[in-house]
């Protein structure tokens, strides 16, 4: 069985003065505080959330 791809997503910018939907996307990714990181499965829905907040996060493929 092939191993699943994962992404390490780190929040690098604040949600202060951002649109509400961007804040909700970060919550959906399990983020919300500066420099918090999460390791997430690489799926189209996760990629969509990351695309909405690409200016607020840093992504590393594992």
Q: What is the pLDDT of residues 21-61, one digit of tens each?
A: 999 999 999 999 999 999 999 999 999 999 999 999 999 99
Q: What is the band of 19 on the pLDDT scale with cuts at 50, 70, 90?
A: very high
CATH code of the domain in which 22 resides: 3.30.1390.20
pTM for this entry:
0.88
> What pLDDT does residue 4 have?
84
Taking CA 31 as the corner, what is the angle to CA 25 and CA 37, rounded to the nearest 5 degrees? 130
Within-domain flag for 1: no
For residue 42, give the 3-state DSSP assignment.
coil
| Residue ranges in 1-62 assigned as alpha helix (H) | 20-28, 44-52
Residue range(s) defining the domain that contains residue 28: 6-61
- Give me 14's structure tokens: 């604040």
Which residues touch 15 (CB under 8 Å, ≥6 apart)?
22, 23, 26, 32, 56
State the total domains in the chain. Answer: 1
| φ and ψ at residue 27, rounded to 5 degrees | -60, -40
């Amino acid at each position: 069985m092939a191993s699943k791809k994962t992404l390490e997503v780190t929040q690098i910018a604040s949600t202060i003065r951002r649109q509400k939907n961007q804040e909700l996307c970060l919550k959906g990714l399990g983020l919300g505080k500066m420099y918090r990181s999460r390791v997430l499965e690489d799926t189209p829905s996760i990629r969509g959330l990351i695309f909405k907040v690409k200016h607020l996060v840093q992504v590393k493929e594992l």
